Amino acid sequence: MATPKGTRCMSFKLNDHEGVWVFSGPDGIHLQLRKEVATEQDVAAPSFKVAVKLQAADALKLAGELLTAAGTILAKR
C-alpha cells in the first residue's frame, strides 16, 4: 500500500504477521491494525486490516493510556 503524498507513515511490526501503522497528515491521523495469516499455515485463522481516523485529542488520550499501561507493567518487573 502506498503512502499518500504529504502523509507520514510509521509502522510497528509486532511479529512476522502483525503490526500497527500510524498515518498522519493534513487530513488527520489514521491508526491501522493488520494481521495476516497465510492460508497454507492455517486456513481457519482470520486475517484483517482495520483503520480508524483519530482526532488529535483522542490520539493524545490513547498515547497517554498506552504509556500508563506500559509503565504499570514495567514497574512490576
Over the stretch 13-44, which tens digit does the pLDDT of each residue have? 999 899 999 999 998 999 999 999 888 878 88
DSSP conformational letter for 29: E
pLDDT of 51: 95
What does the domain layout of the chain look like in residue ranges? 8-75
**Residues near 40 by Cβ (< 8 Å), separated by ≥ 6?**
none
Distances (CA, A) of 12 to 1, 55, 75: 15, 20, 23
> Considering only CA atoms, which of 51, 5, 50, 53 is closest in space to residue 28?
53
**Confidence label for 45 from pLDDT (cuts 50, 70 and 90):** confident
Mean pLDDT of the chain: 92
- The pLDDT-based confidence of 64 (bands split at 50, 70, 90) is very high
